[in-house]
A and B are shown apart, each in its own frame.
Chain A
Amino acid sequence: MRALCWHGKGDVRVDTVPDPTIQHPRDAVIKITACAICGSDLHLLDGYQPPMETGDILGHENMGEVIELGSEVTNLKIGDRVVVPFTISCGQCWFCLKGLYSCCDRTNPNAEMAAKAMGQSPAGLFGFSHMLGGYSGGQAEYLRVPMADIGPIKVPTSVPDEQALFLSDIFPTGYMAAVNAQIEAGDTVAIWGCGPVGQFAIRSALLLGAGRVIAIDEVPERLAMAEAGGAETIDFSKTDVYDELMKRTNKRGPDSASMRSAARRPVMGRLTQCSTRSRRQRSWPRTAFTSFARPSCAAARPAPFRSPAFMSAWATRFRSVRP
């Protein structure tokens, strides 16, 4: 099959490689009908997410048609159209049973490597380095889907690929940001970063009842898309974000704030000045972390911040990924 393969920093190529096969009774193989390039794939392109090996297939936003099934996958049948979560989760461990699927502790065979570099290991991910499992991605003609009885969901015939595809990652990711922001009806929500995930965070915040969304970026077409989605915008290259947010919120600041990985400048100090209730942060400004740093726990509230285990995990990661 043809597949998009990593060959080194800044070097990805479409190669002919062996087709994937069923390796476990819970596997499926799908024929990819649509897949997307994610902003986090750029971390791989730019060499920020080691270890990668020559020939690794990228891509974790995938959907397609089931062409082969392992014996234990009974909820799907050959020919089903499915969209596949980027997180590979077992559905049976303590984390999965709590709904914390991205913390699944059974799907990353290289969990020790991840724990050493990042404090804790998340679930295995498609096409995202050997530290996160070394699973082949789906920017290819075919994809092996492990845990296929848990991850993929069927796509109704009324929903075209372009609408279903983003359930694999960026729609749920933006939506979870809005959920984490604990939005109450009529709230004002500030969102830093209007890349693809930010765009879904904007629309999700409005779906969840936000009264106003103020979206912050500097790229004109991204600000325009944010406005089309119902947000007010601030261009941080032209306007002081803190002053403008305070001006627009009667000097109180937004009710909640969300920072997308698109943000590459230190904003935490300003965030604490602006936000009064809650905030979600998915990853860190690249000026502080050169890696795609992942927080080690799903919901970090004040108590975990004080625990020795948490502090130790953070300190470990901080040392390891700091420039």
Chain B
Amino acid sequence: MGDKIPLGAAMNKGLTIKTGQTHVQAYTKPLMKRIEAGDIDPSFVVTHPASLEDAPAMYKKFRDKEDGVIKVVLRPGR
């Protein structure tokens, strides 16, 4: 561990290191309010709307960063 995380250097800079899987349930309601208030429009990130049937091809495009893919959204209900 010590050879991968330079704790000595971190200590000498007085760093705080935080980690964590997202506590999603703690953020959904307040962030929904920010969306409703118009502070942010999260749809900016969508580059590739697609159908569910297209998903296998989109996985590979996304993995290989082809065609400018940043975010794929599938619409199975349509």
Contact = CB atoms under 8 A, between A and B. Distances in A.
A161 B75 CA distance: 10
Interface stretch (A18-26, A238-246, A280-288): A280-288
Given A167-B32, A221-B68, A275-B15, A87 B23 contact: yes
Contacts of B16: 182, 277-279, 301-302
A199 B46 CA distance: 11
Contacts of A159: 32, 35-36
Contacts of A102: 20-24
Given A13-B56, A171-B42, A199 B70 contact: yes
Interface in A147-192: 150-151, 153, 155-156, 158-173, 175-176, 180-182
B44 A229 contact: yes
Contact of B56 (A4, A163, A219, A314): A4
Nearest to A100: B23
- Residue among B7, B41, B46, B71 with most chain A CB within 10 A: B71
A203 interface: yes
Interface in B13-63: 13-29, 31-32, 34-36, 39-47, 52-53, 55-56, 58-60, 62-63
A269 B6 contact: yes
A135 interface: no
A27 B51 CA distance: 27
Nearest to A150: B25
B31 A171 contact: yes
B59 A45 contact: yes
B75 A34 contact: yes
Interface residues of B, number: 59
B25 A139 contact: no
Contacts of A278: 15-18
A86 B60 CA distance: 22
Contacts of A305: 7
Interface in A62-88: 64-65, 83, 85-87
Contact of B76 (A32, A123, A273): A32
Given A163-B35, A171-B31, A207-B34, A176 B23 contact: yes
A141 B53 CA distance: 11
Nearest to A10: B60
A168 B56 contact: no
B65 A219 contact: yes
Given A12-B56, A298-B23, 15 more contacts: A37-B55, A87-B23, A101-B25, A102-B23, A151-B25, A165-B42, A167-B35, A171-B42, A175-B27, A176-B27, A199-B70, A268-B4, A268-B5, A278-B18, A297-B19
10 contacts: A85-B28, A87-B25, A102-B20, A103-B21, A153-B29, A156-B36, A176-B27, A229-B44, A275-B13, A278-B18
Q: Which 10 A-B pairs have the closest CB atoms?
A: A85-B24, A295-B19, A162-B43, A102-B21, A172-B27, A272-B9, A180-B18, A278-B16, A33-B77, A101-B25
Interface of B: 1, 4-7, 9-11, 13-29, 31-32, 34-36, 39-47, 52-53, 55-56, 58-60, 62-63, 65, 68, 70-78
